[in-house]
Amino acid sequence: MKSITLNTKLNRLIGEITIPGDKSISHRSVMFGSIAHGETKITNFLPGEDCLSTISCFRKLGVSIEEEDNQIRISGNGIEGLKEPIDVLDVGNSGTTIRLLMGILAGRPFFSSLVGDSSIGKRPMTRVTGPLAKMGAVIDGRNSGSYTPLSIRGGKLNPIQYELPVASAQVKSALILAGLQAEGITQIIEPSETRDHTERMIRQFGGVIDKENKIITVKGGQKLTGATIHVPGDISSAAFFLVAGAIVPGSEIVLKNVGLNPTRTGIIEVLKNMGADLEIISDESDSFEPAGDLVIRTSSLKGTVIEGDLIPRLIDEIPIIALLATQAVGKTIIKDAEELKVKETNRIDTVVNELKKLGASIEATDDGMIINGKSNLHGGTVSSHGDHRIGMMLAIAALVSDGEVFLENPEAIAVSYPNFFEHLKSLTN
């Protein structure tokens, strides 16, 4: 699929969709199942390309993983059961796969090499390779270990006390996974709280991890035991339909099974601050990852300011929040979000450039963007630039644009939401 013509100005989106499994939790469930002892069963696994890359890497490390209808069964032999791969480990487009995997491989006494696609080739790896090298792993790669292809020879690790220079759940998780293999106690200090799926997952697999005032403490040498994991829906995928429901006139969408982990719910706060008619209609907070059902209805929206500790709690939602802001009255300012520059694309530039092509009033800043609404968007030719979340944002933008929108590279959407277009279509019937 090289390009598609998208629905133009729609009157309403009505119906109910069940949000597919969370990408971050799906990755981690396979990783922990692969390093635990015994059987792990995962339900509602996300069959997106990124998570399939994680499965493929662990198979190459000798783990037996069976997949059937979004259910996964893993027979784990413990972290010591991982075997030296005879082939390169290809992470595709997935930053989570490569960074977390490096944390695991850092403590394994063998050689591995890691590659990914052209987007992965531009993403900074020193933030992980630097502290892992300090712990004792031998890592090399392009530009002195800064970019893929990377090679890693793991072995005995020293614990570390490390203050993260940027708020990143991927870096934190890589260091936790290495810390689980180090001799002694590893401490990681976060500048702002980031998604805590790794911490929750460790407890689910019978391990111990402590967190107090942004300081995470983990002891090496713990034995993890296989578990049953039910993956809740991905709030980052739900976000596209939350925004669509808020901005397409006359809409009412029920979103079932949305993950409501408080480290991920920044989008809900922003929608409410902007005046959206959003309700949580059921909430299961007692499970290891909270989830619930949401309903969103069209409403009048106003601009807002998004900054500080809120940024890591909605970092992946900023492209769709930018579109939301084009449909709100007044100015929306997004700041403290420099990290957007090192996502699947430079998301400050891609969001601003693509939305401008549809007539939005939006300007890039050094650490975010400023949007002036409300704009009447028009048709045009836009591109995902190979970035799944940019592709979905532009598909939703088409619903409020006058004139046809041609989206180039829509196939990137399969990275995190393979049935996105089916879900969208089901709401228009």
Residues binding ligand S3P (CB under 6 A): 24, 96, 168-170, 173, 195, 315-316, 339
Which of these is catalytic: 316, 367, 387, 402?
A: 316
Question: What one-letter code names the amino acid at 358?
Answer: L
- Nearer residue to ligand S3P within complex by CB, 169 or 239: 169
Smallest gap from residue 97 Cβ to ligand S3P (A) = 9
d(CA 276, CA 270): 9
Choose between 53 and 170: whose C-beta lies nearer to ligand S3P. 170
| Nearest-approach distance from CB 195 to ligand S3P, in angstroms | 6
Identify whether 316 is a catalytic site residue: yes
CA distance 31 to 74: 10
**Pairing assessment for the beta strands 14-18 and 252-259 based on DSSP bridges:** parallel
CA dist 298 and 24 (Å) reads 29
Q: What is the secondary structure of 45-65 as a DSSP string?
A: ----HHHHHHHHHHHHTT-EE
Mark 165-200 as b/e (b = at least 16 C-beta within 10 Å): eebbbbbbbbbbbbbbbbeeebbbebebbbbbbbbb
Q: Considering beta carbons, is residue 293 or 344 the nearer one to ligand S3P?
A: 344
Report the nearest approach of ligand S3P to the CB of residue 172 (Å): 7
Q: Name which of 34 and 170 has its Cβ closer to ligand S3P.
A: 170
**Of the candidates 181, 151, 148, 215, which has an alpha carbon nearest to the alpha carbon of residue 82?**
181
Place of tokens 């111990």: 208
- Asked if 327 and 373 touch (Cβ cutoff 8 Å), the reply is yes
Min CB(155)–ligand S3P separation in Å: 25
Nearest approach, Cβ of 24 to ligand S3P (angstroms)?
3
- Residue 169 or 278 having the CB closest to ligand S3P: 169
Active site residues: 316
